[in-house]
Amino acid sequence: MGVVCVAVLAMALLFSKALAQGWDNAFATFYGDMSGGETMQGACGYGDLFKQGYGLETAALSTVLFNNGQTCGACFEIQCFNSTEWCAPGTITITATNFCPPNDSKPNDDGGWCNPPRKHFDLSMPMFVKIVKDYHAGIVPVQFRRVTCVKTGGIRFEIKGNPYWILALVYNVAGAGDVTAVSVKGSSTGWIAMTRNWGQNWQTNVQLVGQSLSFQVTTSDGRMVESDDVAPANWQFGQNFEGKQF
């Protein structure tokens, strides 16, 4: 086994070990109503959460958990905790798709549930009521842990921008879920490292119009998947394409 393979395997094992380390404490609230409320855009840039496969099984994360967008796409198992009055049995699994901003007007007030250093999940109402007896609880203590993301189909690449720069939204990522690096290769170029623009939107200023595109995606556990010739040479801005999956 080569050195690179050993290193990747070691990182994957460390990630699996981290998932097995047990639960951490946080709080949870909900937004919207039973229809799910707002399911568009968000700080990760995923856009229409139903169209892109995330649905209502999502959450906005507080500052400390969101980590400037680096946690976008990660999956968490959550259960209500230490409240016989409000807690229902069972757990939910969500994908991090948005940011719960701090309340700057009340930096030290209990109303600023997403203020640092608090760990907090703002859930869709349908997910919230799965772990509480009554939504009137409003806010409940929870326990959470990172889990492996299970997704249907391959990693998706939505290409935006203009002829002078390309922005690729990377979503539907299984495994660790959170993307730490993306590279793109045109049919006439070598591999080009893209930079995170915001959320899971990755950018390059290299002009690639008219070339077929390949992508390499690396997640936080150090695993990388390469999808060759994902987009044909006649791709158009606004289109999305399916690559390989972890």
**pLDDT tens figures, 18-61:** 444 589 999 999 998 887 665 556 899 998 888 888 889 999 99
pLDDT score for 112: 82
Question: Per-residue b/e over 31-45, b at no fewer than 16 CB within 10 Å?
Answer: bbeeebeebeebbbb
Helix (H) or strand (E) run with residue 166 in it: strand 165-171
What are phi and psi for residue 233, nearest 5 degrees?
A: -60, -25
Q: Report CA Rg, the chain.
A: 19
The H or E element spanning position 18 is: helix 3-19
Cα 42–130–119 angle (5° rounding)? 50
Report, as an integer, the average pLDDT of 182-188.
98
Other C-beta atoms lying within 10 Å of the C-beta of residue 60 = 24
What residue type is assigned to position 67 of the chain? N
Rounded average pLDDT over 192-207 = 97
Nearest to 98, CA basis, from 66, 51, 50, 140: 66
Mean pLDDT value of segment 109-138: 89
The larger pLDDT score, comparing residue 138 to residue 175, is at: 175
Copy the structure tokens of residue 99: 């940011």
Contact indicator for 78, 90 with CB cutoff of 8 Å: no
Placement of tokens 């999940």 in the chain: 121
Q: What is the pTM of this model?
A: 0.87
Secondary structure class of 138 (helix, strand, coil): coil
Task: Select the more confidently predicted residue: 189 or 136.
Answer: 189
